[in-house]
Structure formats: C-alpha cells, structure tokens
Amino acid sequence: MIKEIPSESLNPDSFITEHVNDIRKKVVEGTVINALSGGVDSSVVTLLGHRALGARLRTVFIQNGLMREGEPQKVASFFKERGVNVEIIYAEDAFLEALKGITDPEEKREAITQTFYKEVFGRIVRESKARFLLQGTILTDVDETIAGIKRQHNVFEQLGIDPQEAFGYGIIEPLIQLRKDGVRKVGKALGLTEEYYNRIPFPGPALAARIIGEVTRDRLEIVRKATSITENMLSDTGAFQYMAILHEDRVTGMRNGKRDFGNQVEIRCWDSVDARTATPTNLPYETLTALAGEILEQVPGVVSVTYNIAPKPPSTIEAV
Amino acid sequence: MIKEIPSESLNPDSFITEHVNDIRKKVVEGTVINALSGGVDSSVVTLLGHRALGARLRTVFIQNGLMREGEPQKVASFFKERGVNVEIIYAEDAFLEALKGITDPEEKREAITQTFYKEVFGRIVRESKARFLLQGTILTDVDETIAGIKRQHNVFEQLGIDPQEAFGYGIIEPLIQLRKDGVRKVGKALGLTEEYYNRIPFPGPALAARIIGEVTRDRLEIVRKATSITENMLSDTGAFQYMAILHEDRVTGMRNGKRDFGNQVEIRCWDSVDARTATPTNLPYETLTALAGEILEQVPGVVSVTYNIAPKPPSTIEAV
C-alpha cells in the first residue's frame, strides 16, 4: 500500500529536496535514463532527475507519429532552455506498422506499449549503459492498474530485459505518492512555467487514444487538426482537460446540397481535481457552437460534432 | 416544379375545404387506403382524408417493431376518439428479419422500405379493392429526394404493383405544397390536439434511424428506453425535434470500479422552422447533465452520453 501525500499537506520544496537526495543516494554512479512525453508527469520527473543528476540523466523523447502538432520540437526547445538536453527519436513508421488493422482499444494500447518498450525505448535502454530508469508514475496510475482500468506489467519485462538480468536494474518513481494536483505544485516549484505545470493531461498512447477504430495516417491527420482547434479554443476555460475524439461511426451529413456520410468528432471538456472523478465543463453555448463551426469548416470529412455530457464515473476521461 | 404555399400566407380553413373537395372529386367511388405512422404528416393527412371520405378511407398502422414505447395503442386510441378506425398490422418479425446483419444506413432504409411497401403494406393494398393511395408527402421530402438526400421511387412499383396495372391506381398527396409549419397549422384547424399538431417529427424508419449499425431487438430496447427518457425530459423545451441515437462505437467506461466497454448515446435537440436548416438548441447545462444522468442510470450498458453541437448543414437532423 503506497501512502498518499495529499496536495493540501504537500510542501513542494521539502518534497524536491527529499527526492533529489533520495535519487542521488540510489544512483551512486553511472547514468539514469528516462522517456519524456511532454506531459506534466514526465516533465516534472525530468526536471527533478536533472536537478539530482545533471548530465548523468539521459532524457529521450520518442516521436511515435501520434503526437500533437509540432509537439516534439516544442518540448525539446522548452527543456533545452532549462539546460536539459532532450534526444528526439524518430519512430513513426514502427508505431503505425504495429497499429495497422487494430481496432480494439486494448489491443491498440498494447501495440503502442509493446512498440514503445520492446522495440524503441527498450532497445535504447538495453544499448545504453544506464542501470536506472526514472519514471513519472503517479498514484492514480497505480489505482487504475489495481482496478483493472489500466494494465501495467513488470517494466523490465516490458523492456525486453531478462528477469535474471533485471536484478541489476533499478526503477525510480519519485511521484508515486502524488496525484495530479500534487505533481503540478512540485512542477511549479521546479520552475516549470504555468503553460507546463498547468498543462492539461495528455495520454500515453497520445492521439491513438483519441481515435475510435483503426489508427492510420489519414485518421491521425483528422484528429490532430481537431485537437489543435479544440486546444486553442478551450485553453482559457480553466478546465482540467479537453480533447477531440474521432469516432469510427459514420453519420449522415450534407455537403453542397448532397448527402455525405462523414466523420463525427466528439469534444470532451472536464472539470476535475485529480482525474478520479470528473464532470463535463459547463461551457457557454456560444463556445460550443463556435468550436463545432471551426472543426466543421477546417477539418475535411467531418460533418458532425458532439459534446460529452456524462460524468466520470460511469464514463472515463478518455474514450479509447 | 411544385408551388410552395408558405406558412405565413396559408389559410388553413380554405386549404382544408379546397382539398376535401379535391379528394372527393378525385375519388368518385370506392375506397382509399393510407398508412398512418403517428407522425404529424400522416396524422394530418388521415384526418383530412377522413373528413373527405368518412368510412371510405381505410387507415392502417403498421407495427414494425421499430416504434416508440406504447406507440401503436396510443395512436389508435387517439384516432378512435375522433371517429377514425385504425387497423393495427403486427409485422415486427418481418422487419427484424429484413434488417438482420445490415449496418449500412442506406441498405437499412431500403430494407425497411421494401418490407413496408412490398411485403406488408403492398400486400394489403393489392388485396384491398382500393384504387387510391393517400400519402402525407410534404415539400421538404420532395426537395430532399431531388437533392439525393432521400430516395423515393415510383410508389406503385414499390408496392409491387405492375406498371401496366398502375394506370388504374391514383395517388393523392394533399400536403405536397406545404412544409412542416404549414402542416401543423392545418392539423390544428382539423382538430388535432396540441400534443399532435405540435408533435416533434419522427422519421419513417422510426427507431432504426436512431441506431448506428445493426438493428436488433436488444439494440432497439436500448434506444427505445433512451428515447422515452429524452422525450419526457425535453418535451417542455419548445424545441423543433429531439432524439436519442445509439452509436455503434464502443467507448471505455467504468462500472463498480472496473473497466467496462459500453455504449454511447447521442442526444440531438434542434431549433428549426422547417427542417431545411437547423441549429442545436441552447439547453441549460442542468438539463443536459440531468438527461445524461437519467440515461446512464436507467439504460443498461450505456456509459457515455453526448449532445450534438453541429448545425444542419453540414449535419442532418437524423444521424442514420
């Protein structure tokens, strides 16, 4: 049982000092490796690891082709300004190949996880001399794994590292007692800008978690555009998280007076403190219809836009 | 080119007198047959035909298993009180058999149309002595047929009546110069109660038009319950039309702390004068979340509810 540190009683500066010391104590020599996704959790853990280890932390950013517009460059340059060198690994083809023909949400996550750990990040870890992995796991991830909502295996097995050999590896998860709100407080104290520590959560499988049905280059292009419009238009709402989801269902629409079976995009915008429970944000009607208008006008093939009105539970934050 | 009678310049009493005379002039002897669906158009045309012909009009109501809760009994008893005898034809099995395995929206409509005209209503017409058909076609139907949004064939061919023989048949479409708002004015003048002449439009393929993917008994049960809840909760909004749509896409939800891939129901509520263009109704947030709450609680297997925010065009009123 992991002991939760509630956000209210968290002192971010003491937390940082304690964990910087802890990391230094664990990693007496050699290097530590971590994968940065650009989300809050991995950004905070990257800065914490960098503060503890400096150049002994090797941070890689895996471009899986499922990212939002301009994401890898944006993240790399942000961290570069803070002295953290981020290595971008281009692996789009490997991910799209692994996702080909898959429509089941669980198989999709599994294909991404396998490609990420075994094929791409696993190879990097195995080829590196690093014996420590730094990970941004938070308490909500642990809860959801226990509840069977997310699946998590032994990370070394995932990396294709032999269980025998795995005794030589160590895993460091400094954020595991925190929830999202606690992570943000720590991020702020570590010098993340508000844009980052208040960044809306974004899932590991990235835009693949925003596509119901098969993930293809074309469908990624649709959801990427819809995501960009949604994030731009909802960024000042103060909501916890907002997203655009591409449905597989085709619905009837009209273009130039003719019937057109097209795509439907679903918008979700959540009010939440820690993602455990959430309610749809009460967005003004004008915002909703303006957002739908932009998506219908700018994203080819979309004829219908909906807004989620169900809370979590029984819904979940992401649809896939 | 059919000449439109705009609602503003429509005098319902003169319209009724004129068309009652016209029907009597056309139908010198024998009987006329019509199919009543319970929608505004067929309800108005039934009362108009009854006023012109009395017992010479034979009105059938085809129970296709795609109806809303209690619909056939409700409609039959309403008309009985007004002196119109409605014959209910039970044909659920024929329709469900024809719909088995079909997911394409056009093929679905076609299967329903074929079963309705050729198999069920066609047989009744062919076996009757009626040489005249009374239909509630309105101008919007004609427009949409021309635009390719709806398909409409020669009705006698549809009924399985030989083209040679069809010269002996006549079709009467008294509402063809009107749009929905005109039909309502005529209905009111004919003594339809507000519940009826202001009844929200309901499509010919009924709940099959509210199901994306295959139409089965189980899926009909889901959308029937969601429809009942939606109609009850939105009846006092003054909206033009409102509906619940069952999606085929499965989305992730949580039940009792466990992952549950479930159904999504989409709510559409339209402001419109004549269905040619429409905008989503600006419903209060409290109404939307209460509606979602009822559906999530009362309809088994549903984990997600959305609200349509796209206008027509490029959307259409119905999704299927």
Interface of A with B in 112-171 (CB under 8 A): 147-149
The rounded mean pLDDT for chain B is 91
Q: Looking at residues B284-298, what average pLDDT do you find?
A: 98
Neighbours of B277 (CB within 10 A): 12
Contact B249 A285 (CB under 8 A): no
* B262, B280, B289: residue with CB nearest A309: B289
> Which SS3 state, helix, strand or coil, does residue A29 take?
coil
Residue A227 has pLDDT above 70, yes or no: yes
Q: Looking at residues A28-44, what average pLDDT do you find?
A: 92
CA atoms of A29 and A45, how far apart (whole Å)? 19
Interface of A with B in 203-262 (CB under 8 A): 212-213, 247-255, 257-262
Q: Looking at residues A292-311, what average pLDDT do you find?
A: 97
pLDDT class of B255 with cuts at 50, 70, 90 = confident
Contact A313 B253 (CB under 8 A): yes
- pLDDT attached to residue A4: 94
Tokens describing residue B191: 């003594």
- pLDDT attached to residue A152: 54
Neighbours of B95 (CB within 10 A): 23
Scored b (16 or more CB within 10 A) or e, B281-317 reads: bebeeebbbebbebbbeebebbbbbbbbbbbbbbbbb
Residue of B nearest to A213 (CA): B249
Backbone angles phi, psi at B6, to 5 degrees: -65, 145
- pLDDT attached to residue B199: 72
- pLDDT attached to residue B151: 55
* Amino acid letter, B74: K
pLDDT class of A150 with cuts at 50, 70, 90 = low
CA atoms of A222 and B190, how far apart (whole Å)? 51
CA atoms of A77 and A64, how far apart (whole Å)? 18
pLDDT class of B286 with cuts at 50, 70, 90 = very high
B30: phi > 0 → left, psi -120 to 50 → alpha, else beta; which?
left
Residue A128 vs residues A34, A59, A60, A252, B317: alpha-carbon distances, Å: 11, 12, 12, 52, 58
E strands in A91-216 = 132-134, 170-172
CA atoms of B134 and B30, how far apart (whole Å)? 13
- pLDDT attached to residue A297: 97
- pLDDT attached to residue B166: 73
Backbone angles phi, psi at A60, to 5 degrees: -115, 145
Residue A253 has pLDDT above 80, yes or no: yes
Residue B151 vs residues B99, B114, B147, B206: alpha-carbon distances, Å: 18, 12, 9, 16
* A248, A282, A305: residue with CB nearest B249: A248
Q: Looking at residues B184-206, what average pLDDT do you find?
A: 86
pLDDT class of A166 with cuts at 50, 70, 90 = confident
Tokens describing residue A76: 């790399």
Which residues on A lie below 8 Å from B249 (Cβ)? 212-213, 247-249
Residue B224 has pLDDT above 80, yes or no: yes
| Dihedral sign computed on CA atoms, order B258, B260, B264, B265 | negative
- pLDDT attached to residue B156: 73
Q: Looking at residues A173-187, what average pLDDT do you find?
A: 94
Residue B226 has pLDDT above 60, yes or no: yes
- pLDDT attached to residue A126: 87
In DSSP terms, B246 is beta-bridged to: B211, B265
Residue A161 has pLDDT above 80, yes or no: no
In DSSP terms, B43 is beta-bridged to: none
| Dihedral sign computed on CA atoms, order B193, B199, B202, B206 | negative
Residue A149 has pLDDT above 70, yes or no: no
pLDDT class of A148 with cuts at 50, 70, 90 = low
Picking from B229, B233, B251, B266 by the largest number of A CB atoms within 10 A of its own CB, the best residue to mutate is B251
- pLDDT attached to residue B142: 81
Contact A309 B318 (CB under 8 A): no
CA atoms of B8 and B299, how far apart (whole Å)? 42
CA atoms of A278 and A314, how far apart (whole Å)? 10
Tokens describing residue B294: 């009822």
- DSSP assignment of B92-154: HHHHHHHHTT---HHHHHHHHHHIIIIIIIHHHHHHS---EEE----HHHHHHHHTTSS----
pLDDT class of A163 with cuts at 50, 70, 90 = low
CA atoms of A81 and B4, how far apart (whole Å)? 68
Residue A30 has pLDDT above 70, yes or no: yes
Residue B190 has pLDDT above 60, yes or no: yes
- pLDDT attached to residue A151: 55
- pLDDT attached to residue B140: 84
- pLDDT attached to residue A39: 86
Lowest mean pLDDT across A196-205, A244-253, B116-125 = A196-205
Q: Looking at residues A205-217, what average pLDDT do you find?
A: 95
A285 vs B: CB within 8 A = yes
Interface of B with A in 50-89 (CB under 8 A): none
Angle between helices B40-53 and B71-81 (to 10 degrees): 30
Pair type for strands A57-63 and A170-172: unpaired
- pLDDT attached to residue A153: 52
Query: H or E stretch including B25?
Result: helix B12-26
In DSSP terms, A62 is beta-bridged to: A89
- pLDDT attached to residue B141: 80
pLDDT class of A45 with cuts at 50, 70, 90 = very high
Neighbours of B107 (CB within 10 A): 12
Picking from B107, B144, B233, B252 by the largest number of A CB atoms within 10 A of its own CB, the best residue to mutate is B252
Which residues on A lie below 8 Å from B149 (Cβ)? 254, 258-259
Question: What is the number of CB-based contacts under 8 A between chain A and chain B?
Answer: 146
CA atoms of A51 and A17, how far apart (whole Å)? 10
Contact A254 B313 (CB under 8 A): yes
- Percentage of residues in chain A having pLDDT higher than 70: 96
Which residues on A lie below 8 Å from B311 (Cβ)? 289, 292-293
Residue B222 has pLDDT above 90, yes or no: yes
Which tens digits make up the pLDDT trace of B114-158?
999 889 998 999 899 898 999 999 998 888 777 665 555 567 777
Lowest mean pLDDT across A24-38, A144-158, A300-314 = A144-158
- pLDDT attached to residue A156: 73
Which tens digits make up the pLDDT trace of B41-98?
999 999 999 999 999 999 999 999 999 998 888 999 999 999 999 999 999 999 999 9
Lowest mean pLDDT across A96-100, A116-120, A161-165, B145-149 = B145-149
Lowest mean pLDDT across A165-169, A188-192, B259-263 = A165-169
Q: Give B279's contacts (C-beta < 8 A, 6+ positions apart).
A: A289, B270, B271, B272, B311, B312
Q: Which of A47, A69, A110 is nearest to A220 (CA)?
A: A69
Residue B215 has pLDDT above 60, yes or no: yes
Tell the residue number behind the tokens 């709806």, with chain if given. B150
Of A289 and A255, the one with more pLDDT: A289
Residue B163 has pLDDT above 70, yes or no: no
- pLDDT attached to residue A202: 85
- pLDDT attached to residue A64: 94
- pLDDT attached to residue A234: 97
- Percentage of residues in chain B having pLDDT higher than 90: 72
